[in-house]
Structure 1
């Protein structure tokens, strides 16, 4: 929501009425309240954002929604060292009990710290079915596979279904000995083809300078962080460009 305007109470209430539950809403609300970590009001200049915060609380109260924020900062402007709690996470109580809210320590060249919401429920991923890896035939011992296919003695088998089952089981048994299988594991991570060692070093250095700045605010540390952040942006852009 843009700052400097009244909180859209009516529109927000209509949105909450229309959304199915359980729900989870995340956004830059530009609202302040001590409930999610904002400091106690000390000046008239802060009053509009605190008024918006109270209006937001009044809007979600009839729906019994919860604020997931734990009090950690969500906004950082490096040019004037301004910190705040503007990004809110709102959820239904039936799911909030299983959710854990946190922020990343690195804003990744943004004014907003990334918000991480994890859950305590079991992983819903299922394993991939194991198959023979015919895409890597160079790793398959096809010569011994063909030599090992010795049809079992089936003279005493009179049932066609039993004959077919015996033959298939024999082929599977031999294939398991000579042909490699695919992995059943699911890789949930995405690989960036442009990522390299220079990118990793630049990001590591930027995080280091940010930690130093957060521990001790000074013009020197601020300049060092800005230089490291600028270098990391250039390094990543260059790596993406060279990967094509």
Structure 2
């Protein structure tokens, strides 16, 4: 039940976006007409937000959201072939109102966030962290699996303002979910959890008892109290609580999609099983089996 979903390499053409039920979406496509790269931020409709207009050529989108505290969330994708300058990243960070969280596929490698190698872009991100006193949320877990080489790396980086460093728990999903990147989950205590909404179930009310109690308790004597309106309201609600049942519905609960049937469940189960087998024993046969079941699950 995420509040914000950050997607990189959504491969959408300019001004296109895939709608997600229950969410508002903001996207930044890659330059040109080809459907490559691009980023999208999905914000749950229960979350108040405003878009931040970024002055940058980078594939990045940012919003200001209101939770227990107001913070900025920025989603960015840096293609491996892109010639990124330090000034480009610096200019982006300077536009993000503090405190902020910056997440994305940076295609930057450094032992600082658990990679086995370091490249020039990784050194650039390290310099950015140091110059702007930013904190790294990664725990060192791999975020990408190269199916051809059967190797792991960490091109995905999560960065935040120091004031938010203790507010988030960073972890990766155990299943690739049909991608070659492990989904990254940021759990936070900043979410303003409101109690579940209550609804009167009038079709199951005991109206006979309701009427009897109203006649006996909503008498003229209420007019003699210090606040007769408040007394009447409280008494009426007490009677309703005794005679009318309630249902509890979470404000964030989304309706189940009608197309997710047993065939979908079985296809995903087989894909996960093939993935675990591949991770334990990366043979050519297991690679092929995983690719076939991954394609089958996606098709279904």
- TM band (smaller chain): 0.7 to 0.9
How large is the RMSD of aligned CA atoms in angstroms? 2.8
Distance 1:158 1:147, change over 3 A: closer
Q: Is the 8 A contact 1:145 1:178 kept in 2?
A: yes
Larger radius of gyration: 1
Gaps of 5+ in 2: 1-77
Q: Could you say which residue in structure 2 is the equivalent of 1:124?
A: 192
Q: Could you say which residue in structure 2 is the equivalent of 1:25?
A: 102
- Residue 170 of structure 2 is aligned to residue 106 of structure 1: no
Distance in 2 of aligned mates of 1:34 and 1:157: 73
Cα distance per residue 1:20-79 (max 9 Å; x no partner): 1121111111111121222246xxxxxxxx011112212231111122222222122434
Distance 1:61 1:193, change over 3 A: same
Q: Is the 8 A contact 2:222 2:232 kept in 1?
A: no
Cα offset for 1:163?
5.6
Q: What is the TM-score with the length of structure 1 in the denominator? A: 0.77
Cα offset for 1:215?
1.2
Distance 1:222 1:187, change over 3 A: farther
1:16 counterpart (65, 82, 93):
93
Higher relative contact order (CA 8 A, sep 6+): 1
2:287 counterpart (222, 225, 241):
222
Distance 1:232 1:189, change over 3 A: farther
Structure with the largest fraction of strand:
2
User: What SS does the corresponding residue of 1:101 show, helix, strand or coil?
Assistant: strand
- Residue 254 of structure 2 is aligned to residue 177 of structure 1: no
Q: What is the TM-score with the length of structure 2 in the denominator? A: 0.64
Cα offset for 1:155?
6.2
Give 1:180-219 correspondences, 5 Å limit: 180-183=245-248, 186=250, 188-194=252-258, 195-219=260-284
Q: Could you say which residue in structure 1 is the equivalent of 2:10?
A: none
Distance in 1 of aligned mates of 2:192 and 2:158: 23
Gaps of 5+ in 1: 42-49, 236-244
Aligned pairs, number? 222
Cα distance per residue 1:141-177 (max 9 Å; x no partner): 2244334432458566764876655654554343222
Give 1:230-241 correspondences, 5 Å limit: 230-235=295-300
Structure with the largest fraction of helix:
1
- Residue 164 of structure 2 is aligned to residue 95 of structure 1: yes
Q: Is the 8 A contact 2:139 2:171 kept in 1?
A: yes
